[in-house]
């Protein structure tokens, strides 16, 4: 087996069980390894440390499968790891009845580069690293064995694959497309899921519990949902008794799905829903100039900072939208504001929101800090997995 030799002193991060080995930690590779091949990671003195997947084109040169240097990385390894991830979720009462659920959360489930989301009897996988890509067949078999699912679809089309030197890959790995539109029920609300062309794996499962919180907060409140996508927050606000819900997104197809989702839920009062196909940044300014005010505002923007190189630009965008959200809030109003950018840490995000409140001339306080639900665990040895950050704020 090829050996990945680390530079002196560069094994400290691995000693803390961090699953990434960066290019700057690597001395040399003994032997030949193709992208995704398993390599033995050794210290500068030759001491075996781990087994990892080799990725020569990425700044993350290797992703650790196991810190046990004796571990055999084979089909049986993936069966054990996938089964363990599924069992962890089955052990949590709050997750057992969810139709939409993250089954495998990459590094935090000991499977770097692998995401798997379940929608009813369909599982969508996303392979974002060379190692996971190499073990595609083993992963598919392990998921089918652990879940008994009827269908597995692959959505390995994220931009991060380019950094691994991997081309986009999509298609059915088990079964075939269902004849009916795929729908799930989340907290009593029916939602369509487009696993082929929708964002991520088709739906934002990481916001499930925050959507429920929106429902609990919305009663009697005029509500603005920015970057609404297919209307998850909007429909929960309507279910909670919001007096009105204005939803904004720049994607006409997403808004069309949102309107269709509302029609799937006839118990909701559609006369209270308004949909705008518009740029959120310009729309916020227009509404402020027009004197509109809201009692609950939701800001759930896309990933403004996909990498550290985009942090400064992303910070300006977050400040901008939060500034106008604070200006648009009525006295005593609530702001639910989020960042899914891995490059924006929690403390920095709160600083950005605080600066926006000051610039808007509003006093505000954090009522609750928000994040992803229990099916999106964050391993203690992998703080980078804590990507979704949210604040519930109330203004004076």
Instruction: Check pLDDT > 70 for residue 250.
Output: yes
Task: Return residue ranges of the chain for CATH 3.30.750.80.
Answer: 75-174
pLDDT tens for residues 129-167?
999 999 999 999 999 999 999 999 999 999 899 999 999
pLDDT of residue 311: 85
**Whole-number Å distance between alpha carbons of 255 and 276:** 8
Position 303 pLDDT exceeds 90? no
Are 303 and 310 within 8 A, CB to CB? Answer: no
Q: Choose among 47, 273, 20, 48: nearest CA to 131.
A: 20
Does 378 score more than 80 pLDDT?
A: yes
pLDDT class of 389 with cuts at 50, 70, 90: very high
pLDDT score of 306: 64
How many Å from the N-terminal Cα to the C-terminal Cα in the chain?
Answer: 63
Q: What is d(CA 228, CA 69) in angstroms, rounded to the nearest whole number?
A: 46
pLDDT computed for residue 302 by the predictor:
87
> Domain 183-395 carries which CATH code?
3.40.50.150
DSSP 368-393: EEE---TTS---TT-GGG---EEEEE
CA atoms within 13 A on the CB side of 130: 26
pTM given for the model = 0.94
Answer yes or no: are the C-beta atoms of 290 and 329 closer than 8 Å.
no
pLDDT tens-digit map of 66-117: 999 999 999 999 999 999 999 999 999 999 999 999 999 999 999 999 999 9
Tell me: pLDDT of 292 over 80: yes
Please determine, for residue 194, whether its predicted confidence score (pLDDT) is greater than 90.
yes
Sign of CA dihedral 107, 111, 114, 117: negative
Q: Which residues contact 153 (CB under 8 A, 6 or more apart)?
A: 122, 123, 124, 125, 170, 171, 172, 173, 195, 196
pLDDT above 90 (res 310): no
pLDDT score for 313 = 86
**Structure-token pair, residue 221:** 């409140």
Alpha-carbon distance of 94 to 88, in angstroms, equals: 12
The CATH label, of 3.40.190.10, 3.40.640.10, 3.40.50.1860, 3.30.750.80, for the domain at 75-174 is 3.30.750.80
Task: Tell me what pLDDT residue 229 has.
Answer: 96
Every domain of the chain with CATH number 2.30.130.10 lies at: 3-66
* pLDDT tens string 196-217: 999 999 999 999 999 999 999 9
Q: Which tens digit of pLDDT belongs to each residue from 28-69?
A: 999 999 999 999 999 999 999 999 999 999 999 999 999 999
Lookup: tokens for 213: 């919180």
Active site residues: 340
Write the CATH number of the domain with boundaries 3-66: 2.30.130.10
How far is it, in rounded angstroms, from Cα 206 to Cα 95?
Answer: 13
Beta bridge partners of 244: 222
What percent of the chain lies above the pLDDT cut of 90?
93
Every domain range in the chain assigned CATH 3.40.50.150:
183-395
Question: From start to end of 300-388, where are the E strands?
Answer: 329-339, 364-370
């Amino acid at each position: 087996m090829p050996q990945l030799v680390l530079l002196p002193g560069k094994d400290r991060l691995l000693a803390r069980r961090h699953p990434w080995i960066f290019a700057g930690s690597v001395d040399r590779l003994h032997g030949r390894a193709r992208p995704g091949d398993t390599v033995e990671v050794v210290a500068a003195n030759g001491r075996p440390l781990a087994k990892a997947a080799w990725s020569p084109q990425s700044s993350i040169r290797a992703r650790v499968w196991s810190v046990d240097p004796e571990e055999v990385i084979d089909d049986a390894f993936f069966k054990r790891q996938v089964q363990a991830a599924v069992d962890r979720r089955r052990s949590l009462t709050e997750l057992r009845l969810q139709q939409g659920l993250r089954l495998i959360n990459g590094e935090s489930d000991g499977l770097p580069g692998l995401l798997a989301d379940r929608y009813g009897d369909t599982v969508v996988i996303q392979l974002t690293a060379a190692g996971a890509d190499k073990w595609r067949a083993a992963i598919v078999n392990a998921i089918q064995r652990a879940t008994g699912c009827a269908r597995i679809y692959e959505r390995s089309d994220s931009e991060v694959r380019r950094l691994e030197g991997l081309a986009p890959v999509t298609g059915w790995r088990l079964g075939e497309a269902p004849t009916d539109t795929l729908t799930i029920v989340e907290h009593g609300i029916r939602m369509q899921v487009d696993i082929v062309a929708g964002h991520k794996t088709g739906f934002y499962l990481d916001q499930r519990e925050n959507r429920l919180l929106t429902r609990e907060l919305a009663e009697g409140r005029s509500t603005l949902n920015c970057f609404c996508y297919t209307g998850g927050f909007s429909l929960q606000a309507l279910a909670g008794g919001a007096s009105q819900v204005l939803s904004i997104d720049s994607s006409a197809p997403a808004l069309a799905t949102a309107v269709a989702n509302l029609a799937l839920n006839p118990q909701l009062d559609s006369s209270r829903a308004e949909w705008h196909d518009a740029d959120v940044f310009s729309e916020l300014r227009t509404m402020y100039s027009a004197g509109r005010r809201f009692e609950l505002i939701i800001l759930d923007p896309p990933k403004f900072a996909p990498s550290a190189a985009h942090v400064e630009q992303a910070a300006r965008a977050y400040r901008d939208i939060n500034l106008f959200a604070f200006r648009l809030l009525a006295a005593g109003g609530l702001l639910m504001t989020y960042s899914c950018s891995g490059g924006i840490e929690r403390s920095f995000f709160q600083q950005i929101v605080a600066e926006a409140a000051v610039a808007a001339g509003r006093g505000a306080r954090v009522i609750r800090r928000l994040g992803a639900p229990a099916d999106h665990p964050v391993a203690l040895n992998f703080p980078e997995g804590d990507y979704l950050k949210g604040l519930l704020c109330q203004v004076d």
